[in-house]
Structure 1
Amino acid sequence: MTPSKDLGGVVVATALPYAEDASAPAGLRVDYDRYAEHCRWVVDSGCHGVGPNGSLGEYSSLNQEERRKVAQTAVATVGDRATVIVGVHAPCAHEARHWAELAAEDGADGLLCLPPTIYRANEGEILHHFEQVAAVGLPVMVYNNPIDTKVDLTPELIREIAEIDNVSAIKEFSGDVRRVLEIREQAPRVNVVAGADDVVLESLLMGAGGWFAGFPNVFPAESVRLYELARAGKVEEARALYEPLVAAFRWDSRTEFVQAIKRGMEIVGRFGGPCRPPRGPLPEEMLAQVDADLERAVKYLQGKEN
């Protein structure tokens, strides 16, 4: 398997396991051995890459030492056979560039970067942010997530960002599938990557060249199969696989997506475990709905195997 140089394919925004440890932040230490095993599993299952230190990887709950070691663990574990795209999200350009420089030093293949977090930046500030990150020299996947950042990277703005050297892809998480074609028209040089699992089929059929995904933490082989069917234009087969999974996939676009995906991992026999604050356990009613949606997906997939 040769990872795509345009940062495409199915790249897993990897969840991060913790072990109980009273001396660690919030009583939870990062379990690097278990994280390495998880990276191996998703790549062995056919995924084209991993994305450490994304939102799903709880980067904002890590201290600096932990955050760097997570990226180093991913590179050391699967970097010889899969793409490693390290999240360098930060409130300001100089901090994002710092994380980009460390990722380059540690052997990452590419960078995933939100616009400035916390602060609602204007267009000039956004361009400066990505210019600083791209100046490090690694391919950059710009991440549009207006739900969390309150900053919308519109297709018109993406056209300007795409002129920056080393910007090679856009992870589109607005939930508006119309954006795929609009971005391809405005910025044909960059690869549009599906970001929201619950519109992934629609995005791929409209020409997205990758999927930076949450639920391959739970269903890696099946997610790769869905991606391949969609990219091959096998619409009926893709729909037959997608429709039983999409209720589960919708949790990827909800505030509690980290807890839901970790719960899904446990349902399929993997280790999910707790989250660090501010994320806490799911309320009982919400947990029951997550279980119902995931178990429906699992039952469908088990039926296909039998």
Structure 2
Amino acid sequence: MTATPRPERAAAPGKVNLFFAAGPPRPDGYHDVASLYCAVSTGETVTAAPTRGAGTSVGVAAVPGSLVAQQIDRGTFTLDAVPTDGSNLAVRAAEAVLARFPRLSGGLHLQIEKAVPVAGGMGGGSADAAAALLAVNRLAARVSGEPALDDDALLQLAAGLGADVPFALTGGAAVGTGTGAHLRPVPVGAPLHLVLVAAEAGLSTPAVYAELDRLRTHEDVPPPRLPAGLEEALRTGQAAELAPLLANDLQAAALSLAPQLAPVLAAGAAAGVLASFVSGSGPTVAHLVAEAAAAEDLADVLRGQGAPALAVRAP
């Protein structure tokens, strides 16, 4: 890039899996899944700016009041844990876009504003990648004078980056099948109110899947599918009807690797929430409550007990 135009900024949401079923391991090591993704009202923001150097550099900051900021305040997390080299999914996303604009030259700086816990089962890295795709696409198109990549092209790049990146790009609520990247949007009748509780340390998604396979070694695992009534309960916006249908095949594996999650789940039951579950591969726990005020009250109580907690809406 020879010019130094204004930066471009884009955001992408974190997510919870309201339902997650995983089939047996496939020959390629992946698992077919049936997942109900739901975006939440906390997410990642990426600002893309051209530089006079070469390559892509990364800066990271925590969003004040976010789960990440709370983890830092409690000394259970440091931003040094976020990679700033080519292993960062946002860097890979940026470079995938730049490859479509070969006439550009110069470097790029990505400033990531983190709100979603790292390795927390909420798709934070995927949200970074999705936001980078959007921001770098706008910047590259403006600087080069070429047309920006369309939605289909961005979704194709997203699918090549990871199973959760396409959903982070589209947001809302969607059923994910295959490895999770085949998405079918679903309607939501009314916002859901959740309290998210971050853990002291993250969990590796591959490790959780490996533990799931170990726990199910002698089981006949059926093909994954959504339970009857799940989408209808979401469409009508009846949280009380949705609650008993929420489930996560990865939860037992997450609890096996991080047994300290059990009292976090139990705290939800003690508070009378509609449902408590581990999001994705964990270790973030989500409590479903009936109203926004109840979510704020529960988050205040949990923070008072020393837990990083945040009330959010979904989607």
Q: TM-score, normalised by structure 2?
A: 0.28
Structure with higher Rg: it is: 2
Q: Greater share of helix residues, 1 or 2? A: 1
Which has the higher relative contact order, 1 or 2, with Cα contacts under 8 A spaced 6 or more apart?
2
Q: TM-score, normalised by structure 1?
A: 0.28
Q: Greater share of strand residues, 1 or 2? A: 2
